[in-house]
């Protein structure tokens, strides 16, 4: 964020100096180039700010998908135990326990 602020301040300073130095003879070409640079710089700064603010939301969405997956596995294990009389957790525990 600090880099964006520095970039915006430096661009404003350059624009002010150019405007004051040339008064009303500010060339259209220079104005177009500076406005294009301004819009690109502002877009980059805003996109980096938005992405940094969305990072916690993306993380919580990933955690939510993990929880949904674990609950689906729990439902599957429950249906297997109730309807097919197969307890996969018990089978897995007996297979991994030492004899």
User: What total number of domains does the chain contain?
Assistant: 1
State what percent of residues in the chain have pLDDT above 90.
Answer: 27
Q: How confident is the model at residue 31 (pLDDT cuts 50, 70, 90)?
A: low
Angle, alpha carbons 56-58-61 (nearest 5°): 110
Contacts of 89 (CB under 8 A, 6+ apart): 77
Summary mean pLDDT of the chain: 77
Q: If we measure between CA atoms, which residue out of 66, 93, 56 comes closest to residue 74? A: 66
52-86 per-position pLDDT tens digit: 778 888 899 999 999 999 999 999 999 999 999 98
Residue 34 scores a pLDDT above 70: no
Domain that holds residue 21: 2-96
Q: How many CA atoms lie within 13 A of 29 on its CB side?
A: 0
pLDDT of 4 higher than 80: no
- How much is the pTM? 0.50
User: How far apart are alpha carbons 72 and 64 in whole angstroms?
Assistant: 12
């Amino acid at each position: 964020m600090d880099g964006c602020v520095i970039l915006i301040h430096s661009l404003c300073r350059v624009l002010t100096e150019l405007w004051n130095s040339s008064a009303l003879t500010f060339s259209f070409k220079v104005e177009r180039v500076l406005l294009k640079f301004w819009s690109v710089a502002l877009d980059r700064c805003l996109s980096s700010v938005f992405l940094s603010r969305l990072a916690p939301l993306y993380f919580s969405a990933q955690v939510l998908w993990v929880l949904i997956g674990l609950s689906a596995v729990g439902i599957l294990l429950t249906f297997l135990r109730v309807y097919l009389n197969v307890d996969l957790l018990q089978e897995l525990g007996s297979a991994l326990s030492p004899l």
